[in-house]
Amino acid sequence: MRREDARVRVIPGMLEIADREREAMWEASAAMDRERRRRELDAERLQYHRGQAERHRRTMSQLVGYHENEAQKLLERKES
């Protein structure tokens, strides 16, 4: 028996239990990491969409103003 094998075979079946526990811990850790990353991405998306809404609001307001001015010019030209 090799030295490494002697350390592994302390109690029959114990290694299998340790492997399952380690796997369960890894799964839980991975799930927490995925959840943390999802929350980070959601926060980034929220910031992006709020910013886009504000930029569109400014742009649309300017666009509406431009078209109102153009319409007013045409009305004034029609009246003269």
pLDDT digits (tens, 9 = 90+) for 12-69: 666 677 888 889 999 999 999 999 999 999 999 999 999 999 999 999 999 999 999 9
Query: For residue 18, what pLDDT is reported?
Result: 81
Query: For residue 5, what pLDDT is reported?
Result: 53
Range of the domain at 71: 3-79
Tally the domains of the chain: 1
CB 20 within 8 A of CB 27: no
CA distance 20 to 23: 5
CA distance 68 to 62: 10
The token pair that represents 63 in the structure block: 């666009």
Residues 4, 8, 14: CA angle, nearest 5 degrees: 175
Average pLDDT over residues 59-80: 92
Query: For residue 78, what pLDDT is reported?
Result: 84
The token pair that represents 14 in the structure block: 């114990």
**Is the predicted pLDDT of residue 2 greater than 90, yes or no?**
no
